[in-house]
Amino acid sequence: MPDLEIIETVRWRDGMVRILDQTRLPAEEVYLDLATTAEVIEAIRRLAVRGAPAIGVTGALAVAQAAAQTGGNAAPEWIARVQESARAVADARPTAVNLQWAVDRVVSVLWRAAGSGASVEALRALALAEAQSILEEDLALSAAMGAHGASLLPQDGRVLTHCNTGGLATAGGGTALGVVFEAVRQGKRAFVYANETRPLLQGARLTTWELQRAGIPFALLCDGASAWLLRTRRIDAVLVGADRVAANGDTANKIGTLSVALAARAFKVPLYVVAPRSSFDLSLADGQGIPIEERDPEEVLSWPGGRVAPEGAEAWNPAFDVTPAGLVSGWVTERGVERPPFIETGETEA
Ligand code: MRU
């Protein structure tokens, strides 16, 4: 039975945004209380908090914090100033649409209430309430995705996963890895092959930590070994998360997902994307418009603890890739197992 205790990845604590610093895992469990917008942005950029749903929740709480810290009495001018901070938070990382979605959701609540004459004090409370709702909803969405996804796994399932898509990537439930947790909770057996996920090793550091904590057996493998795994061992499903899904189903996720998807198709293993509807960007017809974050080449040139490549070496470090919709067997959302065209029905619901 997995450890059912939810990981408190990100929470609101006395005016601070409290995060579990994921750069310190698995060696240490250290919580950081982020006191300003600048501190939140820095934490998102350096992946102290990461994973699309988790940075969405963090962004929403950061707007509530900016609202609490921004002075003024005239609502329109005050919102415009809060919105400047919100924009900076939304820009901290470009690919996961959840960040922009959550930040915009809090800001639009402020404009709506200001239009009905709410005071700045009331708006501050509303911003926090909306951010807290996004956090609570995220937990419910994880549970719903887990339930829908678990039905795809056999009684004794062997799964390949990439990056970290567990509680650490959300407010605490998980997307793709949450499906495995739910399957085990239901009494199924699961064995997880976890790609290490170069260069920042979310698989090696975080997925293994979560699986160990939950008592689920696993094997860690180098990213380059996953095609051979799919070729030589019985794997029932590849389960991955998403940072942004376009209207046609093209899916941006951690760099390396495309290679796994191509190998899965070649060896006839179904690949499911597990993501809440807040990771869908139906304004984009296809994946070509998805902004792909490129990070510091130093992350590739080094291995934790030291430099690997010689001085003067260059590197290319895209943090995400886009898997064409045709390589995906289904998108597990809070609504069920979906396929394009995705119906837009307004607010995300649990
Ligand atoms: O760079 P990261 O660690 O934020 O990338 C995270 C991923 O790519 C996850 O697979 C994605 O956000 C979905 S997680 C629920």
Contacts of 326 (CB under 8 A, 6+ apart): none
Give the strand pairing for 271-274 and 280-281. Answer: unpaired
- Where do the CATH 1.20.120.420 domains begin and end in the chain? 10-143
Residue-level pLDDT at 346? 56
Which DSSP symbol is given to 270?
Answer: -
Q: How confident is the model at residue 82 (pLDDT cuts 50, 70, 90)?
A: very high
Evaluate: CB of 163 within 6 angstroms of ligand 1: yes
Residue 320 Cα, ligand 1 centroid: separation in angstroms?
Answer: 9
Strand, coil or helix: 9: coil
CATH number of the domain at 10-143, out of 3.40.50.2300, 3.90.1170.30, 1.20.120.420, 3.40.50.300?
Answer: 1.20.120.420
Residue 236's SS3 state is coil
Task: Please name which of 83, 68, 60, 69 lies closest in space to residue 131, comparing C-alpha atoms.
Answer: 60
Both tokens assigned to 222: 């180098």
From 22, 45, 50, mutation site for ligand 1 pocket: most ligand atoms within 8 A of C-beta: 50
Q: How far is the CA of 120 from the centre of ligand 1 (A)?
A: 35
pLDDT at 84 over 50: yes
What's the full length of the chain, in residues? 350
pLDDT at 350 over 60: no
Residue 42 has pLDDT above 90, yes or no: yes
Amino acid at 121: E
Residue 1 has a pLDDT of: 47
Q: pLDDT per residue over 218-229, tens digit each? A: 999 999 999 999
Average pLDDT of 35-53? Answer: 98
User: Is the pLDDT assigned to residue 347 strictly greater than 50?
Assistant: no
Which band of pLDDT confidence, cut at 50, 70 and 90, is reported for residue 4?
low
Is residue 243 annotated as part of the catalytic site, yes or no? yes
- Largest Cα separation within the chain, whole Å, is 66
Q: Give the list of residues 6+ apart from residue 41 with CB closer than 8 angstroms, or none.
A: 62, 88, 89, 92
Ligand 1 atom nearest the C-alpha of 175 is: 15
> How confident is the model over 137-193, as pLDDT tens digits?
999 999 999 999 999 999 999 999 999 999 999 999 999 999 999 999 999 999 999
Q: What's residue 345's pLDDT?
A: 73
- Mean pLDDT for all residues in the chain: 96
pLDDT at 152 (0 to 100):
98
Give the position of tokens 């917008």: 37
Indicate where the chain has its CATH 3.40.50.10470 domain(s).
151-338
Residue 117: how many other CB atoms lie within 10 Å: 8
Q: How far is CA 301 from CA 27, 94, 155, 203, 349, in A?
A: 23, 23, 42, 19, 42
Verify whether ligand 1 is closer than 6 Å to residue 241 (CB atom): yes
Ligand 1 centroid to 285 CA: how many Å? 22
Parallel, antiparallel, or unpaired: how do β-strands 16-20 and 31-34 relate? antiparallel
Q: Is the pLDDT of residue 5 over 90?
A: no
CATH class, domain 151-338, is: alpha beta
Q: Is the pLDDT score of 238 beyond 80?
A: yes
This model's pTM is above 0.85: yes
